[in-house]
Structure 1
Amino acid sequence: MPSTLSSFSSLYFSTLLMLIGSGLLSTYLGLRLAAEGVNAVWIGLLMTGYYVGLVMGASVGHRLIARVGHIRAFVASAGVVTASVLGHALTSSVEVWLALRWLVGVAMMCQYMVLESWLNEQAESHQRGTVFAGYMLVTFLGLGLGQLILTWMPELSFRHVILVAMCFSLCLVPVAVTRRIHPAPLHPAPLEIRHFIKRIPQALSTIGVAGLLLGSFYGLAPTYAAASGLDTHLVGVFMAVTIGAGLFAQGPAGWLSDRFDRSRMIQVNAIILTTVSLLIALISLPGVLMWLTTLFGLLAFTLYPLAVALANDHVDQERRVQLAATLLVTFGVGASTGPLLGSVLMQLGGPGMLYVFMACCSLLLVVFVRPERVTGENLVEEAPIQFMPAAGNLASSPLAAAIDPRVDEQVVMEQMVDEAALEPAGDQDEEEHRPG
C-alpha cells in the first residue's frame, strides 16, 4: 500500500494544496464578513455561488480538457483560481466576491477532473481501492489543515488570501513536473435522474440532505462559532475538529455498514444527529461545543458515504458511472441550497438557527428513510457493496466514479469507447495524451 500511494504522490500533493487553500478560503471569508457586520444572507450566498460553480464546472471541464488537454486545462484553471482569490484583496464588494466564488468553483471542478482522470488512467485494477481511499484521505486532510492555519494566523488579514493564492499556484508544480503518461480524456456520464428517483429514492434523499448539512456547515459554521464567542483561533479548531471527526468516522462506519442494514444505519444516524444539532443550537459554551461538534462530524460526514453504498446496493454494475454523476448533482443541489436557507434563518432568528435548520434537515431522514420501505427487489447480486470513504463536499467530479472500486473498470472503458466513437474527430487533437 505505501508504494501504491507514493507512486501517485505528485497528484495527491496537488490535491492536498488545493484543498488546504479551499478550506482556508471558505472559513476566512465567512469570518471576515461576519466581523464586518455583513448580512448573514450574503455569507450564505457566497457558499451557494461556490457550489453552483462546482456543479457547472463539470461541463466546462469536459470541454476544456477535450480542447486543450489535461496539462493546459489544469494550468488555465489554477490561474483562474489564483487570480480570483487575489481579487478578494482588491475590493470589499460582496457582489464581486460572489462572482469570484463562482469562478473559483468552476475552475476547481476542472482541476478535480484532470486529477481524477489521471489517477484512473494510471491505477492498475488491483490498486483502485487503495488509490480511491488515498484520494479521499488527502481530501479530508487538506480541508482540516486549511482550518488549522487559522490557529497559526488568527488575525483576519489579507495574508490569508495571499496564502490561499500561493497554495493554488504551487499545486501546479507537481502536475507540471510529473513523469507520468498524460491521460486520455474521459467523458462525463449522462444523467438518468428519473430512473434513479424510482430505483433509489431513499439514497437520493439522504444525499440531498447531506448536501444541505455540509454545504451549510462549510459556509456558515465559522460565522456561528464566532457569534458564539469563539475567537479566530478557536474557530479554526472548531472546524478542524469537526472535519477530523468525519475522517476518523469513515473506518468504523464502513465496518458497521458492511454488517448491518444501511437504511437502518442512516435512520439511527439521523436521529442522533438531530439531537446533537439541537444541543449545539441551545448550548454555546466553548468547551461543550467542541465535544458536540465532534459528535456532529462523526455523524454528518458519514451520511454521504452510507447513502452512496446504499445506492450502489440497488443499482446494476453497468449503471454505476451514471449513478455517480447523478449523486454528485443531487449533492450539489443540496449544498447550493443549504447555505442560502441557513443564512436566511440565521438573519431572522440568530446564529443558533443554523443548527436548528440542520436538525430539521436530519429530521427529514428520520421520517422518510425507513428500512421497511426497502423491499430488496432491486438488490444486486454482490450486495452489500463495499463501503468506501467519501468526503461529501464536492471535492470530486463525475470522473471519480472511474477510480471507485465499486465500478467495474471494464464497464468504464467500454463506455469511454462508445462515447469517444460519437465525438467529432476534431476533439481528439490533444497532442499531450502520450509523450512524443
Structure 2
Amino acid sequence: MRQIWKSFRALYFASLMMLIGSGLLSTYLALRLAADHVDSLWVGALMAANYFGLVLGGKIGHRLIARVGHIRAYATCAGIVGAAVLGHGLIDWLPAWIVLRMIVGLGMMCQYMVIESWLNEQADAKQRGVVFSGYMIASYLGLVLGQLILVMHPQLGLELLMLVALCFALCLVPVAMTRRIHPAPLHPAPMEPRFFIKRVPQSLSTVLGAGVIVGSFYGLAPLYASQQGLTTEQVGLFMGCCIFAGLLVQWPLGWLSDRYDRALLIRCFAGCLAVAALPLAIMTRVPLEVLFVAGFLCSLVQFCLYPLAVAFSNDHVEGDRRVSLTAMLLVTYGIGASAGPLLAGVAMKLFGSHMLYAFFSLCAVILVWRIRPKAVTNLHQVEDAPLHHVAMPDSMSSSPLVACLDPRVDEAVVQEQMQTVVPEPEVDPQPPEDEPAFEGPPQPLGPDEHPHDLSRARP
C-alpha cells in the first residue's frame, strides 16, 4: 500500500487540489448569492450549468486529448478553469456566471479524464482496486477540505476565489512535471442508450434520482444552511460533515452490497432517505443540533444510491460493455444533476428553504415506488454476479474513464475500448536476404515537436 501511495502520489495530489477548489467554489458561490439575497433559482442554475459542463466535457475531452496529448490537454484545461474562477470576481452579471460555471465543469471533466486514464495505464492489474480506493479517498478528502477552508476563512471576499484559482494552479504542477510517457490515445466508448434502457432500467432510474438529489445537495444545501441562520463557519462545518458521511458509509455499504440483494438495498435506502429528510422538510426553523444530525443521516443514505446502482447494473451487463455502461450512467447522472438544482431551486423560491429536504424526500419516495426487486428477472445476470462491490468516488469527481480503474472490468477489454486503432504502415514481411534487417537512427525532433507528443510516443 505504501508503495502504491508513493507511485501515484502526484496524481492523487492533483486530484486532491482539484476537488478542494471545486468543493470550495460550489459552497462559496451559494453563500455569496445568499448574502446578496439572490433567488435560489439562480443558485440552482449555477450548479446545473456546472453539471451540464461536466457532461459536455465528456465528449470534448476525448477530442482535445487526441489532438494535443494528455499533458497539454490537462495544462490547457487547468489554465482555463483558473481563469473562469477568477472571472467570477471580475463580473457581477449572473448570466455570465452561469457561462463561467459551465466552463469550469467542462474543463474539470477533461482533467478527470487525463488523471483517470493515467492511473489506469500505470496501475498493475492486481493493484487497480487499491489504486481506485486511493483515488476515491483523495476525491472525498478534497471535497471535505474545501468546506473546512470556510471555517478558517469565513469572509466571502475575492480572496476565496483567488484560493480556488491557486488550487487549480497547483494541481497542474505534478502533471506538468511528469517524466512518464503519455497514456495511450483515447476514443469515446459508445453509449448504446436504447440497449441499456432496456437492459438495466431500474439502475438508470436510481442513477437519475441520485443525480437529482446529490446535484441539488451540492448546489443548494449551503443556501439552505445559510437561510437557517448558520454563520459561514457553521455552513462550512455542516457541508464538511455531510460530505464526510458520504466517505464514511462506503465501506459498510460494500459489505452490505456483497451479501444482500442490491435492488432491495436501493429500495430500503431510498425509504430511509425519505424518512430521514422529513424533520428538515417539516420544520421551517431547525435547532443546530438537529440540523447537523439529520443532515449527516440524510447524507449517509443519499450517497449510497449511486454506488449501489452502479454495482446493480454491472451485475446485468457483460464485461465488454462495462466501459460503455459507465459512460451511460454518468451521462444519466449528469442529466439528473442538471435538472435537480433547478427544480429544487424553484420549490425553495416559492415555499421556503425547507423545501430542499422535502424535495429529497419526494425523490426518495419516487425511487421506492420505481424500484421493484421482484421485477428483476435475472435473465441477463453475469455468471459471477453479484460482482464484488467497489466503493465509487463521488460522481461529481469522475469521468466515464473511471470504469478503467474498476478491478471488475477486464484489462484487455479496457485497452480494446479505450485505445485508438492506429493502422500499421505497409512493410515487407521479411527483409531481402542480402540485406540485414535494420532500424535506422531516430529522427531528430522538429522545432514544433515535443518529446512527449502522442504521435511519437507510440507506434
* TM-score interval, smaller chain: over 0.9
Equivalent residue for 1:294? 296
Contact 1:331 1:394 in 2 (8 A): no
Give the Cα separation in 2 of the matches to 1:217 and 1:391.
16
Give the Cα separation in 2 of the matches to 1:393 and 1:399.
12
Equivalent residue for 1:106? 106
Give the Cα separation in 1 of the matches to 2:148 and 2:370.
37
Structure 1, unmatched stretches of 5+, are: 424-428
Equivalent residue for 1:6? 6
RMSD: 1.7
Distance 1:228 1:416, change over 3 A: closer
**1:5 to partner: Cα distance:** 2.3
Q: SS at 1:180's partner residue?
A: coil
* Amino acid in the other structure paired with 1:348: L
Equivalent residue for 2:351? 349
Equivalent residue for 2:28? 28
Distance 1:183 1:286, change over 3 A: same
Give the Cα separation in 1 of the matches to 2:119 and 2:186.
12
Equivalent residue for 1:414? 416
Choose 1 or 2 for highest CA Rg. 2
Equivalent residue for 1:391? 393
Q: SS at 1:88's partner residue?
A: helix
Equivalent residue for 2:360? 358
Give the Cα separation in 1 of the matches to 2:376 and 2:268.
15
**1:186 to partner: Cα distance:** 2.0
TM-score (norm 2): 0.91
Map 1:234-245; keep pairs closer than 5 Å. 234-245=234-245
**1:431 to partner: Cα distance:** 4.5
Contact 1:211 1:331 in 2 (8 A): yes
Q: SS at 1:420's partner residue?
A: coil
Equivalent residue for 1:426? none
**1:280 to partner: Cα distance:** 1.6
Give per-residue Cα distances to partners, 1:54-107, cap 9 Å, x unaligned. Answer: 000011111111111111101100000000000111121111111100110111
The percentage of counterpart residues that share the same residue type is 56
Structure 1 runs of 4+ aligned residues shifted over 6 Å read none
Equivalent residue for 1:182? 182
Contact 1:277 1:359 in 2 (8 A): yes
Give the Cα separation in 1 of the matches to 2:339 and 2:366.
16
* Amino acid in the other structure paired with 1:367: W
* Amino acid in the other structure paired with 1:44: G
Give the Cα separation in 2 of the matches to 1:180 and 1:95.
41
Contact 1:140 1:244 in 2 (8 A): yes
Map 1:198-213; keep pairs closer than 5 Å. 198-213=198-213
**1:277 to partner: Cα distance:** 1.3
* Amino acid in the other structure paired with 2:20: I
Q: Does 1:378 align with 2:380?
A: yes
Equivalent residue for 2:432? none
Contact 2:277 2:361 in 1 (8 A): yes
Equivalent residue for 2:258? 258
Contact 1:212 1:334 in 2 (8 A): yes
Map 1:82-231; keep pairs closer than 5 Å. 82-231=82-231
The alignment covers a number of residue pairs equal to 431
Give the Cα separation in 2 of the matches to 1:285 and 1:190.
49
Give the Cα separation in 1 of the matches to 2:396 and 2:189.
16
Contact 1:66 1:430 in 2 (8 A): no
Q: Does 1:322 align with 2:343?
A: no
Structure 2, unmatched stretches of 5+, are: 425-449
Give the Cα separation in 1 of the matches to 2:309 and 2:171.
31
Q: SS at 1:394's partner residue?
A: helix
Give the Cα separation in 2 of the matches to 1:364 and 1:180.
48
Q: SS at 2:395's partner residue?
A: coil
**1:415 to partner: Cα distance:** 2.5
Contact 1:5 1:130 in 2 (8 A): no
**1:158 to partner: Cα distance:** 1.0
* Amino acid in the other structure paired with 2:94: V
Give the Cα separation in 1 of the matches to 2:86 and 2:161.
6
Contact 2:188 2:418 in 1 (8 A): no
Q: SS at 1:224's partner residue?
A: helix
* Amino acid in the other structure paired with 2:352: G
* Amino acid in the other structure paired with 2:93: S
Contact 1:182 1:435 in 2 (8 A): yes
Equivalent residue for 1:277? 277
Equivalent residue for 2:434? none
Give per-residue Cα distances to partners, 1:391-430, cap 9 Å, x unaligned. Answer: 343211111111111211111122245x52489xxxxx99
Give the Cα separation in 1 of the matches to 2:70 and 2:422.
20
Distance 1:75 1:301, change over 3 A: same
* Amino acid in the other structure paired with 1:232: T
Contact 1:67 1:430 in 2 (8 A): no
* Amino acid in the other structure paired with 2:158: F
Give the Cα separation in 2 of the matches to 1:275 and 1:415.
42
**1:263 to partner: Cα distance:** 0.7
Equivalent residue for 2:337? 335
Aligned pair partner of 2:453 in 411, 432, 436: 432
Q: SS at 1:10's partner residue?
A: helix
